Amino acid sequence: MGNILIIEDEEKVAAVLKAYLEKEGYKVWCTTKGLQGLELFKKEDFNLVILDLMLPDIDGEEVCKRIRNISDVYIFMFTAKGDLSNRIEGLEIGADEYLVKPFSPRELTVRVNALFRRIKGESSSMLSFDNDNLQIFKEERIVKVKGEEVYLTPNEFAILYTLALNKGKVFTREMLIEGAFDMDFEGFDRTIDVHIKNIRKKIEEDSKNPKYILTVTRVGYKFGGDI
């Protein structure tokens, strides 16, 4: 059904999560150390990494950055750090979701199931804009800018594809959360803004004067006008 890597320094927590997820049919690997997690990641084909930030040998943030350098795999972060600045930092370095401890294993399982439903439900299609300068391949989850592939996180890709598929339609932040993800995703306004900022850095020539993802003042965002 799906391969999941849990990197969590508390063995009891990891064991409980592993039991819940394996009951749902997932194949789960666990490790308590970040470096060992990185080695496992290089050896197996994972669909999801569940990553604790407080690890004994290397910061979870560093693990996330290293994984992002080589893969666009989904990453769920969890930690006891619950303030907004920590959440934003996690998203900016490439996390797709951010859960604050303590949380229910059932809640995590619901989110994981929702993620895999989205993956399974994707259909083949390609969108092209700006005389093929921007190409979005949904099934392959690939984005090309002027023929060169750029790497988006899974949630960045979901937001970009939703906007591009509905070119010209104005989305509020809440509409983007519902359209790009699903109702199981507990997003907040600042989450969408951070993702949009990251997407613009990757696909726009001038991220401060974007032509693809446009801001609609006091409302939200839409995908470009004359492209």
Span 193-222, pLDDT tens digits: 999 999 999 999 999 999 999 999 989 999
List of the chain residues with pLDDT < 50: 123-124
With 0.75 as the threshold, say if the pTM is over it.
no
Note if the bond before 102 is cis, omega within 30 degrees.
yes
Look at residue 118 in the predicted model and tell me its pLDDT. 72
Architecture in CATH for domain 123-223: Orthogonal Bundle (1.10)
Q: Kindly report the number of other CB atoms within 10 A of residue 186's CB atom.
A: 13
The ranges assigned to domains in the chain are 3-120, 123-223
Look at residue 86 in the predicted model and tell me its pLDDT. 63
Distance CA 179, CA 201 (A): 22
Supply 33's token pair. Answer: 């150390």
Distance CA 122, CA 113 (A): 15
Query: Which residues are CB-neighbours of 48 under 8 A, at least 6 positions away?
Result: 2, 3, 4, 5, 73, 74, 75, 76, 112, 115, 116
The pairing of strands 148-150 and 220-223 is unpaired
Span 1-31, pLDDT tens digits: 689 999 999 999 999 999 999 998 899 999 9
Look at residue 64 in the predicted model and tell me its pLDDT. 92
The answer to whether domain 3-120 has CATH 3.40.50.2300 is: yes
Look at residue 195 in the predicted model and tell me its pLDDT. 93
Q: Which amino acid is at 35?
A: L
